Amino acid sequence: MNDTVQDRPSSLLEIDGHAHAWTPNEARARFRSGVSGPTAGVAAGHTQANLISVPADWAYDMLLFCQRNPKPCPVLDVTDAGSWTTPLAPGADLRTDLPRYRVWEHGELVDEPTDVVHRWRHDLVSFLIGCSFTFEWALAEAGVPMRHIEQGRNVSMYVTGRQCRPAGRLHGPMVVSMRPVPPEHLAAAIRESSLLPAVHGSPVHCGEPSGLGIEDLARPDFGDPVDAAPDDIPVFWACGVTPQAAVMASRPPFAITHAPGRMFLTDTRDDQYRVA
C-alpha cells in the first residue's frame, strides 16, 4: 500500500481509560464533539460497525459484493438513499458520530475528516458491516489477551493475496485483522468468535502469514504494529476494511468510509448476534 492510503500511526490519547464504561450514546456524543482514536475497547458489550457509503447507482454492486463475500462483509443494516440514520442506533447521525472518516474519489483517498456533513450527498446509500471489535469482549471474557488494547494501539490490518468474489463493477482483495494469541488460548479464540458470524465469525487463517500472502507483520497496511509475546500465534480474521480495498481497486467516483479501526458504536448488544 502506498503512503496515501496506509493508515497513519494512531493512539488512544483522546479516548480515556474509562471508555469501556461509556454508553454507545456517550461515545457517539464524544466523537461528535471531536474526540478521536481507535474504538477497540469502547462501550463494552455493544456492537461496533464498519461504514461504507456509495452513490445509489453503485449500491446494488455493493450489496451483491457483500452477499457474495459474507465473511469480510457481513451486512448489519443498509440505509435508504440519502439517509444518515439507522435503527441500530436511533437518533445517531452517520455523518458525525464516528471518530474519523475517509472520503474517496475515483479510488483515491482525498480527505480524512472528523465529520462528513459537507461531503454528504442525497444519493448516498450506507452499509453498516459487522466488526471484529464486537467479539473481542467474548474473547476477553474467555481469557484471550487483547494485545492491541493492552498496548493502546489500533489493531493490525493487512491486505491479503486472496481475491474476493467480484460483483458487478466491484472487485478487490480481502483484508484481515490480526491478533496474536497464546497457544493455550487458541481454541477459545476460535470457539468464541465462531459464535458471532454476523461480526466475521471464526478466523480465516492461523499461523504463518505467508499463507495469506502477507510478507511482514511489522508493516500492517492499516492500523498499528502490535507486539506479540514469543509464543503467540498470529490469528487472522476477515475484516470490514475489505470494502475500502474494493474501492481502491474498482475506483467508484465517490465513497465515504470509516477510518480503519474507528468504528460506529451501535446501541445493539453483542449477545444479540451470538448464535448459541
Q: What is the pLDDT of residues 77-130, one digit of tens each?
A: 999 999 999 999 999 999 999 999 999 999 999 999 999 999 999 999 999 999
User: Is 11 a residue whose pLDDT tops 60?
Assistant: no
User: Residue 152: what pLDDT?
Assistant: 87
pLDDT class of 259 with cuts at 50, 70, 90 = very high
Q: Where are the beta strands (DSSP E) in the chain?
A: 46-55, 75-78, 101-105, 108-111, 124-130, 156-163, 173-181, 205-206, 233-238, 255-258, 264-269
Cell 487472522 sits on residue = 236
Are 92 and 65 contacting, i.e. CB atoms less than 8 angstroms apart? Answer: no
Length of the chain: 276
List the domains of the chain with CATH numbers: 19-131+249-273 (3.40.1640.10), 134-238 (3.30.2040.10)
The mean pLDDT value for 157-169 works out to 98
Q: What is the pLDDT of residues 181-236, one digit of tens each?
A: 999 999 999 999 999 999 999 999 999 999 999 999 999 999 999 999 999 999 99
The mean pLDDT value for 51-74 works out to 98
pLDDT class of 9 with cuts at 50, 70, 90 = very low
Are 236 and 203 contacting, i.e. CB atoms less than 8 angstroms apart? Answer: yes
